[in-house]
A and B are shown apart, each in its own frame.
Chain A
Amino acid sequence: MATTHTYDAVIIGAGGAGMRAAIETSDRVRTAVISKLYPTRSHTGAAQGGVCAALANVEEDYPEWHAFDTVKGGDYLVDQPAAQLMTEEAVDAIYELEHWGLPFNRTPDGKLDQRRFGGHTRNHGEAAVRRACYAADRTGHMILQTLYQQCVKRNVRFFNEFYCLDLLMEEGRVAGVVAYELATGDLHVFRAKTVMFATGGYGRMFKVSSNAHALTGDGPAVAFRRGIPLEDMEFFQFHPTGLNKLGILLSEGARGEGAILLNKDGERFMERYAPTIKDLAPRDMVSRAIFQEMKEGRGAGPSGDYVFLDFRHLDPKVLEEKLPDITEFSRVYLRVEPTKELVPIQPTAHYAMGGIPTDVDGRVVVGPQETPVPGLYAAGECACVSVHGANRLGTNSLLDIVVFGRRGGADMAAYAAGTEAPDLPGAPVGSTLDMLNGLLTRERAENAADIRKDLQAQMYEKAFVVRTEDGLKEMKRDLANLRDRYSRVGVQDKGSVFNTDLMEAVELGFLLDCADALVTAALARDESRGGHYREDHPLRDDANWLKHSLAYREEDGSVRLEFKPVKMGPYLPMERKY
């Protein structure tokens, strides 16, 4: 028997977006935050380099410059009104975090210090600008801690180590969610007027990723299975500087502080690809440049499959004071001393630009007409507003979570206060029980871990930085095969107490759904834009493709695509040079 709880607002996920939303709702309506991790374990805490806002503390800057950079960085797939709003609200969002105690680094005169970051420029591309507020290379950690502190202060109700496994709808509106309590194996029904997904990304579908093991696309997949489309899934960001083979992130803040990329010949190759801002070009361009270097035989190592990040010319104090964590990662995981040695790096799957489509108030909107789903919200990496378009600029993810977490939470609270509690659908836990019982009772003909490993290897080979029609078609077939194998997965642990074996198998199902949507959209989009690079169609094609994709899960398991226009604004698409 499932326990039933009733709340006005239920937020799934306790990273930056979820907790920022909870701060907004908890004083006004009955709020529950459901999280499969303890809040402070969330992956917001792994963000390093900074959060941008045009405070102009160290040099001239304006939100409009920031908006332009965001649109151009996103290769013009950004909804421009949303980017304008985000960059304008950025300034107050940063002050709010400071007022809550966030320990930002300071200038000598006591203001928030700011540093350079990829793709952030003065006056529409003239030169790199100091726009990123930061706390050493632990900015995400500090944001996560600060938001958790504010939740503790407000006595926010958390359900920790609860996995959201289903979304309940009744007569076209949200009715709640079903959650699995890891400690006991019990199912819980949360009846709710409003539900927000804030579950983060799904980078674990790739073999080399900066993402935590927990990032399996739970929110997007649960919504997808209930008929909610996923927007712009083909756009995934591959961060250029992951630790070789491990994928652990080395912040772009490193290059913001002066580190440079070198190929095996010791050449600073970014000078050829982005003559103006060089190593601080946007991430999609730098990752492609690295692949090009490898392709032309200038990758390092016997397989030529990595390049170097060079810190050796920096004052060791800069590493110690502004980049301490990534310095330690090099030492711990590669046994490389960055003050003296080159650090081997390679692109790593980092961030999903796509996700659950929302408007600027976090409301989930479906179809080309953007029809709101009453009571349903999404924010953060699992959502697609779209402020990141085809390629997110560094620091804009942390900005996204605080700006749209707040806006979504405010709208939820207002909506919930003015509506009656929904009715629950019949047999609310039925399909969840079927799924879990299948995994628990089936003979273990297939092992989820092996399928996941194959998925990661295949996606890394065929849907990573460089994609082709042939490769994506093959990946579609691979996914059909993986899905077939998944239907025969059984788990070894049959117990009720902390059955992470069972939850890992469920999470693999979520990853497969997200991969299906990603590959289908990537195959359809025969152009190159931002993070989606098609070697067989290397140019951007605005005449045919200046539009968002929407992927729907059909009854027969296939994926159907629709498209909707990009919301334009003052910036006309132009060639993206840096």
Chain B
Amino acid sequence: MAPDPTTGRVLRDSDEGSVAAAATVSLTLRIRRYNPEVADDPWWDEFTVTMEPTDRLLDALHEVKWHQDGTLGLRRSCAHGICGSDAMLINGRNALACKVLVQDVAPKATIEPIRGLPVLKDLIVDMEPFFAGYRSVLPFLINDDGDPERERSQSPEDRHRYDDTTKCILCAACTTSCPIFWGDGEYVGPAAIVNAHRFIFDSRDQGARDRLKILSEKTGVFRCRTTFNCTDACPRGIEVTKAIQEVKRAILFDRF
């Protein structure tokens, strides 16, 4: 007979005895809705759900979708912050719904789609402009030397130079928190720069000049006004603004 985990609550030895009392909490979700088949303009809906404090906000959205309103549109997959599907604006800040716990937002949370990309339905936005920005920075290793028989050598120090920006999951939380991106659809945005950085500072790559040329154009890094929204928004803890500054310096001083 398998154990039956009935609650999302986490127990520790010190918790014994208090378990039965693991309290549920009420959470009211105020969600910005849009459905082109229903109305031309967006509207707000409120739903109240009862959850475990340690449930994810994503679990609460599922509770709404599965038991209150099946038409609610959202993207999600892995539910633990790796796939990058469920970036949304939660109480005014971009985050992944699967990395926010109910106890951190209860009793009330306001949920909106991420900004700066066309809303298609409820919390689902058109990601194509975002991925177009990503694709524009040549996001793949460029090396014309021909492949060696074994691995290319790279010291741990050289590997470390671009470590931070390899963590990007392309969730768009950074790009859609950037006021410059909201105001100017041409700016490639933080995530594209992060992914360029990942190759520019990779000792095995030979495409840095091409990428820096792309990023020195008017749609590139010099649009950045270092508001740090992107760094605050990144669910992977990438120092996005720092990466952008490093790319700016690489262009200005021709050093990378």
Contacts and interface: CB of A to CB of B under 8 A. Distances in A.
Contacts, number: 204
Interface centre among A138, A183, A245, A264 (most CB of B within 10 A): A245
The interface centre, meaning the residue of B38, B80, B148 with most chain A CB atoms within 10 A of its CB, is: B80
Contacts of A127: none
Contact of B78 (A46, A103, A304): A46
B3 A497 contact: no
B159 interface: yes
A299 interface: yes
A497 B167 CA distance: 32
Given A105-B159, A466-B2, A500 B73 contact: yes
B129 interface: no
Interface in B149-170: 149-156, 159, 162-163, 166-170
Contact of A333 (B78, B80, B153): B80
Given A99-B147, A332-B99, A344-B10, A212 B71 contact: no
Given A99-B152, A106-B155, A344-B12, A498 B140 contact: no
Contacts of B65: 449, 500-501
Contacts of B16: 301-302
B189 interface: no
B5 A501 contact: no
A105 B162 CA distance: 12
Contact of B81 (A95, A332, A500): A332
A364 interface: no
A6 interface: no
B2 A244 contact: no
Nearest to B203: A110
Nearest to B81: A332
Interface string B94-114: 000001010000000000000
Contacts of A346: 3, 5
Interface string B76-89: 11111111110000
A100 B159 contact: no
B135 A152 contact: yes
Contacts of B120: 183, 497-498
Interface in A492-509: 492-493, 495-498, 500-501
Contacts of B135: 152
A319 B150 CA distance: 29
A276 interface: no
Interface residues of B, number: 75
Contact of B163 (A45, A99, A103): A103
Interface string A90-105: 0000110011110111
Interface string A118-139: 0000000000000000010010
Nearest to A36: B77
Contact of A461 (B1, B9, B156): B1
Contacts of A41: 77-78, 83-85
B181 interface: no
Contacts of B78: 41, 43, 45-46, 212-213
A465 interface: yes
A497 B121 contact: yes
A501 B65 CA distance: 8
B121 A498 contact: yes
Which of A301, A341, A450 gathers the greatest number of chain B CB atoms within 10 Å? A301
A302 B19 contact: yes
A152 B77 contact: no
A167 B7 CA distance: 40
Contacts of B76: 213
B11 interface: yes
Nearest to B139: A149
Interface centre among B1, B56, B163 (most CB of A within 10 A): B1
Contact of B5 (A141, A245, A332, A495): A245
Given A38-B127, A150-B140, A333-B54, A101 B199 contact: yes
Contacts of A208: 5
Interface string A309-337: 00000000000000001000100111110
B172 to A, nearest CB: 11
A55 B162 CA distance: 25
A516 interface: no
Interface string B42-71: 000000000000101000000001110111
A517 interface: no
A111 B10 contact: no
Of the listed residues B67, B101, B139, B151, the one surrounded by the most CB atoms of chain A closer than 10 A to its CB is B151
Contact of B83 (A45, A110, A149, A465): A45
Contacts of A339: none
A491 B65 CA distance: 11
Contacts of A45: 78, 82-83, 169
A430 interface: no
A37 B85 contact: yes
B184 interface: no
Contacts of A491: 70
B186 interface: no
B162 A103 contact: yes
Contacts of B131: 38
Given A45-B83, A214-B77, A152 B139 contact: yes
B254 interface: no
B37 A496 contact: yes
B185 interface: no
B92 interface: no
A498 B73 contact: yes
Nearest to A154: B140
Contacts of B122: 498
A153 interface: yes
Interface in B238-254: none
Interface in A204-222: 207-208, 212-214
Given A101-B140, A245-B7, A37 B35 contact: no
B1 A142 contact: no
Most buried by B among A207, A264, A305: A305
A172 interface: no
Nearest to A238: B2
Given A45-B83, A141-B82, A149-B141, 6 more contacts: A141-B169, A302-B17, A305-B3, A306-B3, A344-B12, A497-B37
24 contacts: A37-B77, A43-B77, A46-B82, A46-B83, A55-B150, A95-B149, A95-B151, A98-B152, A101-B140, A152-B135, A153-B140, A183-B120, A212-B77, A212-B79, A244-B5, A245-B7, A303-B4, A306-B3, A335-B54, A346-B5, A461-B1, A465-B2, A497-B73, A498-B121
Interface of A: 37-38, 40-43, 45-46, 55, 94-95, 98-101, 103-112, 135, 138, 141-142, 145, 149-150, 152-153, 183, 207-208, 212-214, 244-246, 248, 264, 291, 294, 299-306, 325, 329, 332-336, 341-342, 344, 346, 447, 449-450, 460-461, 464-466, 491-493, 495-498, 500-501
- A-B complex: 6 closest residue pairs judged by Cβ atoms: A305-B3, A101-B141, A492-B70, A449-B66, A110-B153, A245-B5
